[in-house]
């Protein structure tokens, strides 16, 4: 599938992958700060790219075709949210990748109850029901992607918990973790804190291969702090190149 894409800059190649419901415009402010030539894409079913069923291998095929089309020789892959999970799957497929970076793409906010830490079980289940209702409402408001994609993703094991995917990555891999919560109903803030606590607990155990950098931002870090996030990416890539 031929994806719509946009280029920025020159030099070392980067492939930029947006989050669920987003498009390549998410990178407009961040991409110019990267030390290299960046190609941002609209994933299948998003932005101006064609529709197609969500299959992880097929989506990776789309990205491979895009890399070939733009002459990206072994790019650094940077993804936000869903794109960050894809960065991990790309790195598993391409162990020769010089580096892969996930910007707060790790586990769905409505993942397995065992992935939260510090909440009483009864409150945890009630809060998850409430948050699922919020996400269902948001899903119904989306024009792209359509529900053939969102419904698949909401139950996909890789989307619910990407840590087992990340554990398979052998190339240098960085997870940039947000420390602030996105706006949610006040009663759900403890659930968001428990979600982050579960990540901090599990990442060193499940993914000792993953470098973690925490940043003072919400999940919207790409738009909120583009220069700072780009600097973190540039530093990680530079350190790996000079190692």
CATH code, domain carrying 95: 3.40.50.1820
Q: Give me the mean pLDDT over the 128-155 stretch.
A: 90
What integer pLDDT is reported at residue 240 of this predicted model? 83
Backbone angles phi, psi at 68, to 5 degrees: -65, -45
pLDDT tens string 199-219: 999 999 999 999 999 999 999
Count of domains forming the chain: 1
Least confident interval from 75-79, 93-97, 135-139, 234-238: 135-139
Rg (alpha carbons) of the chain, rounded to whole number: 17
pLDDT tens string 171-200: 999 999 999 998 888 899 999 999 999 999
Q: Which two tokens stand for residue 180?
A: 């602030």
Q: Give me the mean pLDDT over the 88-105 stretch.
A: 98
- The pTM is what? 0.96
Tokens 């980067």 label which residue? Answer: 14
Instruction: Indicate the SS3 state at residue 214.
Output: strand
- The range of the structural domain enclosing residue 9 comes to 5-242
């Amino acid at each position: 599938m031929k994806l719509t894409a946009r280029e920025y800059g020159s030099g070392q190649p980067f492939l930029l992958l947006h989050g669920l419901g987003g498009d390549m415009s998410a990178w407009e402010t961040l991409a110019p700060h990267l030390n290299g030539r960046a190609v941002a894409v609209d994933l299948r079913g998003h932005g101006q790219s064609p529709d197609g069923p969500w299959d992880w291998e097929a989506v990776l095929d789309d990205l491979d075709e895009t890399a070939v089309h733009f002459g990206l020789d072994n790019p650094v892959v940077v993804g936000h949210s869903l794109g960050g999970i894809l960065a991990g799957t790309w790195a598993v497929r391409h162990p020769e990748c010089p580096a892969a970076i996930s910007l707060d793409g790790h586990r769905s906010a409505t993942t397995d109850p065992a992935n939260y830490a510090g909440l009483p079980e009864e409150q945890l289940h009630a809060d998850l029901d409430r948050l699922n209702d919020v996400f269902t409402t948001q899903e119904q408001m989306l024009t792209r992607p359509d529900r053939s994609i969102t419904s698949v993703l909401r139950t996909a094991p890789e989307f619910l918990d990407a840590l087992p995917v990340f554990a398979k990555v052998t190339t240098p891999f960085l997870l940039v973790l947000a420390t602030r919560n996105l706006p949610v109903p006040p009663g759900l803030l403890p659930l968001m804190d428990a979600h982050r606590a579960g990540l901090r607990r599990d990442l060193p155990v499940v993914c000792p291969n993953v470098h973690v950098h925490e940043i003072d931002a919400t999940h919207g870090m790409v738009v909120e702090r583009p220069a700072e996030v780009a600097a973190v990416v540039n530093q990680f890539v530079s350190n790996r190149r000079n190692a």
